[in-house]
Chains A and B, each alone.
Chain A
């Protein structure tokens, strides 16, 4: 039996009737047509489907859409604001943090949570923080640099805002 859910995704509120078994990732991709969130495995390992739900990174393949009822969700499509790339998006571009691009949305969303929890991470903390995201192309080094780039930029922006 279908259930009604209301979810706010990238600032837009949606109300839908869904089967309880529908995974959040399929809701985002197939119902809302937000195909930037990817599916790379079936065992909650690869992290390609990572989105921000109520402020925290979650694997949207391991959340039922009905569990997200009432939630605020940000996907990769909602990260840039007013045409300005988020510092993480900028970092991945600047530091060549992607090759085929398939894992990238999930990497960026995980890094978003990582930097929110730890704005000044060491390289080791970044690598530990990415344990739930697999990349087959980059060997991770440039992903680490991309996140360091964003951390530096975000701290700079925060310091500037604090100084005003």
Chain B
């Protein structure tokens, strides 16, 4: 049969038919007889001592089966774990109980849990629980929290500082001393709420007879959740099955291991009945981790000609009230290591203070540390250009690592795999028509119209690896991925992957890879993920790693299958394996293409095993654990063009051009989709989204009525293009495409708006650049003049 090459083809997604017909199976869609509905009562106060909890009235309510407080769960649940422990940072991990035992530390901290026959009844009962609080002073700002006299969250965490982490390369002091100019700026990278459209949910079913727990949950990494659930409940891993096959978006917020799922499991185990917990959106806004929330003090050393000689960053990262699963790694390693960006900066120094405050814990959010680093660099590039009177494009070009110098080791110790930064920049300039735009801008300014253009030339790190590096960074896990390729007797193929796509489309792209490797029709390949009862131990989907790392694992597994098949085919064709050629699903004898065994025939022979070569075992199934030698480094240039209405401060997007280089591309349609969505999220940080707390720790942007997730009419049409610079670190030469859009777009948008405001002498504004903030800045600039 004719098999065309699938790599590079925009194959329609195989996950779509179930989703466009309403037949997907998200966690809340799971239906088990006798399921109880769980509601968690959450603290309305940011910091308070629990004086008493009276659950008697709630217990008497119709349909209520049980009510639990923190004290009731202390014996059955160990504290919520933190799993990224950066060494040499004086790290303190405060105790985080699934339900608070005596003190609540943020609005949303769990206080009690109710289970009832249905959700309405559980909600009624939760409203009837009486909690008496003694208010304590709260602190929400991470800088204020470190100052003397600030309210203390924990007696044993002085100045609320959970860690201080440092990284240095070169000699920053000398660079600053010897610089022609030093450009300094305080930058706020504000807090965001990930807001996957599916809130978190869990269905826990503990079978008292077998001692087995089945947990359906909204997870990006089900095996990690199984491992941690075993650790906190004492149920052996062998008795836990975690299922997270259809997950409605994650963006990092479904990596952490949370209290809600733990409580559902503990109660199911206690009562011997299935328990379902589904967040409300407002609950999601306080109980699921937030992202970003940095204050960065930045000093850049530069020469008169625009050469950047050094960068120093002192960052205050708001960790929230407790340290979430991967949280300490986000503002440290994932941020600090990336502070060279695509530039040659010989001297870099970074110091990060991880600060505990009375707010929802933060953790990874799409990009996780890398958007923060890119924002620092790209904003500073424009400020340096402004100071030196240079074109922002030229400052960037001047400092790029030239393509001849790859692999290139930056001052933060990372070794970049491959890159051609100028090519992407040039392509973007060509698409946007840069010179022409500057002329239009000048003409528009003469008419009082505010046009602006902003650039972001970024590099990011993904396909995080290798596991040895994880160990050095204190990440309590490996960074490899697993795959099993099982060929059935008919020649059909099941692939079991440790990656857990939840929108990224690997059910399709992975099948494309396997179809190519084994020369079988795409329809003959099934991708199995997200069920620990079926897949080998694996790390999951985050950090744009699934295809680069998980895809490599399955390529190697498929190649082992192919090689075993070659031995069997050679035996059947009575030639040496060295004389066998494999092409498009056929094993034939070199020079005699009519002497052939199809892949399907070989699969059948492997299972009949009537006639196997010596030393070759029956069956056709292989597993591979892939640990890459290095990370991958996608890069590119994003350009945003805006017009600002001076009367209202409102921003209109005129163009958005993205030229990304993610190496080779398996499915261009899917990669474009990833870039689109990423741009929307990053752009929304620049102008729309912001999580705002008042001084008492109340989340003022606590619902979708207040938190501005963009709608279709709030985003522009994206013009996306690519350059292709393959990576040598994996067999496909691809880098990862899940986060480029988010990482690149935020500073491109901010830089465009600041450029538009140049006639007012405005050089920097902190995000989000809402109409009011822009209007106020214009007003203030006019007062001064």
- Chain A contact residues, CB within 8 Å of chain B: 19, 21-22, 26, 29-30, 33-43, 45-46, 48, 75-77, 79-80, 85, 89, 92-94, 96, 98-105, 108, 123-124, 126-128, 130-131, 133-144
Contact = CB atoms under 8 A, between A and B. Distances in A.
Given A21-B120, A99-B505, A141 B717 contact: yes
A99 B717 CA distance: 18
A128 B713 contact: yes
B712 interface: yes
Contact of A98 (B16, B195, B669, B679): B16
Contacts of B650: none
Contact of B249 (A96, A100, A126): A100
B21 interface: yes
A140 B503 contact: no
A102 B26 contact: yes
Given A21-B120, A96-B669, A139-B680, A101 B713 contact: no
Nearest to A135: B197
The 10 tightest CB contacts between A and B, nearest first, are A36-B22, A102-B248, A101-B19, A139-B680, A100-B503, A76-B22, A99-B503, A139-B676, A35-B29, A45-B704
A103 B103 CA distance: 38
Interface of B: 12-13, 15-26, 28-29, 31, 118-120, 195-199, 246-249, 251, 278, 280-282, 502-505, 669-670, 672-674, 676-681, 703-705, 709, 711-713, 715, 717-718, 741
B316 to A, nearest CB: 28
Contacts of A128: 712-713
Contact of A96 (B29, B670, B715): B670
B21 A76 contact: yes
7 contacts: A45-B705, A77-B21, A96-B13, A99-B503, A100-B196, A102-B197, A139-B680
B248 A101 contact: yes
A26 to B, nearest CB: 8
A128 B715 CA distance: 11
Given A42-B703, A102-B198, A139-B676, A134 B15 contact: no
Is chain B's interface secondary structure helix, strand, loop, or mixed overall? loop
B677 A98 contact: no
A139 B715 contact: yes
Nearest to A123: B717
B703 A43 contact: yes
Contacts of A127: 711-713
Is chain A's interface secondary structure helix, strand, loop, or mixed overall? loop
B21 A93 contact: no
Contacts of A100: 196-198, 247-249, 502-503
Contacts of A137: 197, 249, 503, 673, 677
Contacts of A124: 713
Given A92-B16, A98-B16, A100-B503, A40 B677 contact: no
Contact of A93 (B20, B26, B711, B713): B20
A16 B208 CA distance: 34
Most buried by A among B280, B713, B718: B713
A162 to B, nearest CB: 28
Nearest to A124: B713
A112 to B, nearest CB: 12
Contacts of B713: 124, 127-128, 130-131
Given A38-B198, A76-B22, A101 B711 contact: no
B673 A136 contact: no
Contacts, number: 180
A103 B715 contact: no
Nearest to A22: B120
A140 B712 contact: yes
A35 B22 contact: yes
Contacts of B678: 139
Contacts of A29: 28-29
Most buried by B among A36, A41, A92, A136: A136
A36 B673 contact: no
B31 A33 contact: yes
Most buried by B among A92, A93, A101: A101
B22 A34 contact: yes
A126 B712 contact: yes
A69 B403 CA distance: 68
A23 B486 CA distance: 46
Contact of A142 (B22, B118, B673, B681): B673
A106 to B, nearest CB: 9
A108 B21 CA distance: 10
B673 A138 contact: yes
Contacts of B681: 136, 139
Contacts of A123: 717
A96 B246 CA distance: 17
Nearest to B198: A102
A29 B670 CA distance: 31
B120 A19 contact: yes
Contacts of A101: 15-16, 18-20, 24, 246, 248, 503
A19 B670 CA distance: 44
A22 B674 CA distance: 38
B326 to A, nearest CB: 20
Contacts of B502: 100
Contacts of B199: 40
A40 B703 CA distance: 12
Contact of B677 (A30, A130, A133, A136): A136
A150 to B, nearest CB: 11
Given A92-B16, A100-B247, A102-B248, A139 B704 contact: no
Given A98-B13, A124-B713, 15 more contacts: A33-B31, A36-B22, A36-B23, A43-B282, A45-B705, A46-B197, A94-B12, A98-B19, A108-B20, A127-B711, A127-B713, A136-B251, A136-B681, A140-B715, A143-B712
Nearest to B18: A101
Contacts of B19: 98, 101, 104
Contacts of B673: 96, 99, 137-138, 142
Contacts of B709: 134, 136
A126 B713 CA distance: 9
Nearest to A48: B197
A48 B195 CA distance: 13
Given A48-B197, A136-B251, A39 B120 contact: no
Given A98-B20, A100-B249, A105-B22, A134 B705 contact: no
Nearest to A76: B22
A138 B676 contact: yes
B718 A141 contact: yes
Given A101-B503, A108-B20, A136 B196 contact: yes
B281 A41 contact: yes
A37 B712 contact: no
A39 B249 contact: no
Contacts of B28: 29, 35, 38-39
Given A96-B669, A99-B677, A136 B20 contact: no
Contacts of B246: 101
A13 to B, nearest CB: 20
Contacts of A89: 20-21
Most buried by B among A30, A41, A105: A41
A26 B28 CA distance: 11
A102 to B, nearest CB: 3
B374 to A, nearest CB: 18
Given A102-B249, A134-B704, A142-B676, A40 B16 contact: no
Most buried by B among A93, A96, A103: A96
B503 A40 contact: no
B20 A92 contact: yes
